Amino acid sequence: MLLARENGFCFGVKKAVELTEAAAETGRSVHNLGQVVHNPTISRRLAERGVKVIRSPADASDGIVVIRAHGVPPAVRAEIEQRGLECIDATCSLVLRAQRFTKQLADEGYRVVILGTPDHPEVVGLKGYAGNDFVIVESEEEWERLPRMKKTGVVSQSTQPPWAFTALVAHVATIAQEMKVFNTVCPVTVKRQHAASELAEQVDTILVVGGKNSANTRELVNLARMQGRHAYHIESADEVLPEWIAGQDTVGLIGGCSTPMETLLQVKARAEALATAEGREARAAAPA
């Protein structure tokens, strides 16, 4: 089993989880405004500590509301305060940076073009800073349909692949009279993607561990498959199937930015156990 050079929590996820756990230790009611991070293991761990996931501030009658790593629109934060709830902001510092740049573009009169998935919580938050003139694009087909624009500003959901952001900026440069660009792609996510590509150069099969609703984890799967590798997106060790390991000299392993090392090590142990069992069966079946 070959582990990628980049694994474990990114600093934004680590901060969000630690802040939520610290709030739970106060003994007060603690609410996460949506999953604090997109990882089922972490969600279960926090639930065991009494942390409840809510959809809106109205669902919390008292206690503490933790804003998750993805951030929220300014109106949501204002509602938390209006309801007299204590607010702990666990928004990733890089997402806060993207929010500031998005607001700056809107304040300066630029039409904001956001690269991202429309219903992703980070993008929902960015929309709240983009004023009344913005557009969200996720694919080349969508940005090819953009009209000519006078003043355009470009930002990105932090987990978008850097090549997509580069391609979008190149296209907008051909249709905008004036353009301002803030590269808000997360450098930690980029490092993880590079690690996935490096891993794909060394193995034929890769296990990618992370929440099924984790954008950065799904991108790791896409990168491996784009390089012609077998990539399996799983959330836990129980999902590893023997046929994925059979006949493989080495299998690669990488986790998304919100996947704890303990989960990766559990997957590693199961994959290695399956490989060992296969080896024993092969030896037993071999002629004397």
Q: How far apart are CA 19 and CA 86, in angstroms?
A: 13
CA neighbours closer than 13 Å in the CB half-sphere of residue 106: 18
What is the per-residue burial (b if ≥16 Cβ within 10 Å, else e) of 94-124? bbeebbebbbbbbeeebbbbbbbbeebbbbb
Q: How far apart are CA 1 and CA 177, in angstroms?
A: 52
Give me the catalytic one of 25, 86, 122, 239.
Answer: 122
The answer to whether 255 and 210 have CB atoms below 8 angstroms apart is: yes
**32: number of Cβ within 10 Å:** 24
Q: How far apart are CA 104 and CA 153, in angstroms?
A: 10
Q: How far apart are CA 151 and CA 136, in angstroms?
A: 16
- Kind and range of the H or E run holding 33: strand 30-33
The answer to whether 154 and 113 have CB atoms below 8 angstroms apart is: yes
Strand order in 230-234's β-sheet?
A: 2-3, 252-255, 205-209, 230-234
The answer to whether 185 and 155 have CB atoms below 8 angstroms apart is: no
Strand order in 111-115's β-sheet?
A: 134-137, 111-115, 149-156, 176-181
> Is 86 noted as a catalytic residue in this protein?
no
Give the three-state DSSP class for 230.
Answer: strand
Catalytic residue positions, numbered: 122
